[in-house]
Amino acid sequence: MRILHTMLRVSDLDKSISFYTDLLGMRLLRRKDYPGGKFTLAFLGFGDETDHTVLELTHNWEVSGYEMGNAYGHIAIGVDDVYKACDLIKSKGGQVIREAGPMKNGTTVLAFVEDPDGYKIELLQD
């Protein structure tokens, strides 16, 4: 068994795809409209779905926003250099909500960014 994907509901699919591809370096693997159900699915990742866990973005056509809820935490992504990743994300208009640096009471270097819908993405130095 393995984890196949994580799904997030997004309000503006193109804006979200741009965030995950342009700012975080994922690739759009596939995208499909479902007119009968009035939704679109887009799958993104750092590698092919046969070998990697990917992110599924779901856009329901008649919904303009979602409540975040209090159970969601974050998605973690490993990066070579958290400081450089934050600089790149900020230079492309992304929002860093916790600057790069060691975690409290520890030595792990991390940062947090936010996607267009407010989902938290943790950047961890590999």
DSSP for 53-92, written as a single string: -EEEEEEETT-------SS---EEEEES-HHHHHHHHHHT
Tokens of 121: 């993405």
Q: Are 97 and 120 in contact (CB under 8 A)?
A: yes
CB atoms closer than 10 angstroms to residue 65: 11
Is 122 marked active-site? yes
In 3D space, the residue among 6, 1, 12 whose CA is nearest the CA of residue 26 turns out to be 6
Q: Which residue has the tokens 């030595």?
A: 107
Catalytic residue among 67, 99, 114, 122: 122
Which residues participate in catalysis according to the annotation?
122
